[in-house]
Chain A
Amino acid sequence: MLGFLDRENTVAPPTFNRWLVPPAALSIHLAIGQAYAFSVFNIPMSRLIGIDAPAPGDWKLTTLGWIFSTAIVCLGLSAAFGGTWVERAGPRKAMFASAAFFGSGFLLAALGVALHNIFVVYLGYGVLGGIGLGLGYVSPVKTLISWFPDRPGMATGLAIMGFGGGAMIGSPLSVALMDHFKSPTSLGVAETFVCLGIGYFVFMLWGVVTVRIPPANWRPAGFRPMSDSRRLISSESVSAADAIRTPQFYLLWAMLFLNVTAGIGVLGQASAMIQEMFKGRISAPAAAGFVGLLSIFNMAGRFIWSSASDYLGRKPTYMIYFALGSVLYALTPSTGRMGSVALFVALYGVIMSMYGGGFATIPAYLADMFGRAQVSAIHGRLLTAWSAAGVAGPVLVNYLREYQIEHGVAAADSYSFTMYLMAALLILGCICNYFVQRVDPKFHTAPAGSPA
């Protein structure tokens, strides 16, 4: 069984079709994308004792918030420290480890809910689940880039689109399962966790079984690898250890951090903002529908923008994210003042598409800059920017808003200031992107084109 997982048993036969690899990657990313839907458990988990309303001894929402935060921090840490292992072990073993961690994380969290012990839940979904998220996120990236050297942005965009789409499956599925299992004495959370743990493990196994790496020196018909200094594409490779010694790595880290901080910041306030800005016109269910619509824009942006970057070039694509993004962030409050819901929704949608695009385009940007030999390990290290932004984004937005309201600013206007601040963050991102240049050839150490 363990031999089946080894890299050498994953090499594709000559008749293998490369279009089987994106669904293998998607089966991992669609599953782990459930993390974005974890908030559907917040209210039920705050009423495990009281059932109809929170009772003394029930967990507070602030306590529950740490489950997701722990998972995101563990995602970044496991991607950073496990990225090199993923390179060595190959995609099949890494995907299996991800499925095992993610599935068992749910099972342990179910035990924590049954025992009403929050630390067991933190350890389950937060730590084990978070490790599964990190390993799963980076595991198919290099394989996809190796199968699609002619369209790396499209290939990684397809997989990372799955992470955006995972919440759209996870959220209604979790609600339906809780409805099925609830009784007068239970909200069905533990049973739902058990079903999700087993279900996601089985779903991810499809990716484990079907993923293949290309044979050494394989390339698609008619494709010739070449360097393009104008588009910052290098045919040389840099090791992960050397990559983190280059200024390019830190510029890309800052770009991801700023893009995600701004995106998380505005996503977190989207529901409240549309209700405040269009008081009396947008109800709470309509605002929830608006957030759902944003998740579709987020998912679609991952595929569309990342695919477009294959033609536009990675640096110009990020220039669009940051330059156009900062203008749209700054314009959004004006649409509220104009009273145009349609324009507000459209601007927010484009903003969210570029937020998703920023996530999906980064692996191809890394492969251009550092080569694909150790791109998974480098990508894993870069994802610490996501963890940092996951903490910084909400904190920045919430504290700024509280500070302004304490100082007499109207609720609707406090959102405007946040949007202007996020626009400023994107201008900083634009500056970072401007300074990205080719990597110094002295760092070209890793063998180019090593197997996926």
Chain B
Amino acid sequence: MSDVSRSRLILTLSVAWAWVGVPLAWGIAQTLGKALALFE
């Protein structure tokens, strides 16, 4: 695999996982924020 193809693949994989990972991380952070009330 050439360097260009490898870079394109890494970029595509990053965008694909960020597309689902960022909203999921936001949702988990929101939920954990609420869950802190359990330990106050």
* Chain A interface residues toward B at CB < 8 A: 15, 17, 19-20, 23-24, 26-27, 30, 162, 165, 168-173, 203, 206, 210, 282-283, 285-290, 292-293, 295-296, 341, 345
> Known contacts A30-B23, A206-B19: does B13 contact A17 (CB below 8 Å)?
yes
For the complex, would chain B's binding face be called helix, strand, loop or mixed by DSSP majority?
helix
Assess whether B35 is in contact with A290, with CB atoms less than 8 Å apart: yes
Report the separation of the CA atoms of residues A165 and B29 in the bound assembly, to the nearest whole angstrom: 12
Report the separation of the CA atoms of residues A295 and B30 in the bound assembly, to the nearest whole angstrom: 12
23 A–B contacts, CB within 8 A, in A order: A15-B5, A17-B13, A19-B13, A26-B20, A26-B24, A165-B28, A168-B27, A168-B28, A169-B23, A171-B27, A172-B26, A172-B27, A203-B23, A206-B20, A287-B38, A289-B38, A290-B35, A292-B35, A293-B32, A296-B28, A296-B31, A296-B32, A345-B38
* Chain B interface residues toward A at CB < 8 A: 1, 5, 9, 12-13, 16-17, 19-21, 23-24, 26-28, 30-32, 34-38, 40
> Known contacts A19-B13, A23-B16: does B35 contact A169 (CB below 8 Å)?
no
Assess whether A169 is in contact with B37, with CB atoms less than 8 Å apart: no
Q: Which of A20, A26, A206, A345 contacts B13 (CB 8 A)?
A: A20
Contacts of B40 in A (CB 8 A): 286
For the complex, would chain A's binding face be called helix, strand, loop or mixed by DSSP majority?
helix
The 3 closest A-B pairs by CB, nearest first: A168-B27, A169-B27, A289-B37
Interface contacts (Cβ under 8 Å), in number, total: 84
Report the separation of the CA atoms of residues A288 and B38 in the bound assembly, to the nearest whole angstrom: 8
Assess whether B20 is in contact with A290, with CB atoms less than 8 Å apart: no
Report the separation of the CA atoms of residues A421 and B23 in the bound assembly, to the nearest whole angstrom: 38
Assess whether A285 is in contact with B37, with CB atoms less than 8 Å apart: yes
Assess whether A210 is in contact with B27, with CB atoms less than 8 Å apart: no
Nearest opposing residue in chain B for A37, CB measure: B27
Assess whether A289 is in contact with B27, with CB atoms less than 8 Å apart: no
Contacts of A15 in B (CB 8 A): 1, 5, 9
Assess whether B19 is in contact with A168, with CB atoms less than 8 Å apart: no
Assess whether A172 is in contact with B30, with CB atoms less than 8 Å apart: yes
Assess whether A24 is in contact with B16, with CB atoms less than 8 Å apart: yes
The distance from the CB of A288 to the nearest CB of chain B, in whole angstroms, is: 6
Report the separation of the CA atoms of residues A165 and B25 in the bound assembly, to the nearest whole angstrom: 10
> Known contacts A206-B19, A283-B37, A289-B34: does B9 contact A165 (CB below 8 Å)?
no
> Known contacts A172-B27, A296-B28: does B34 contact A20 (CB below 8 Å)?
no
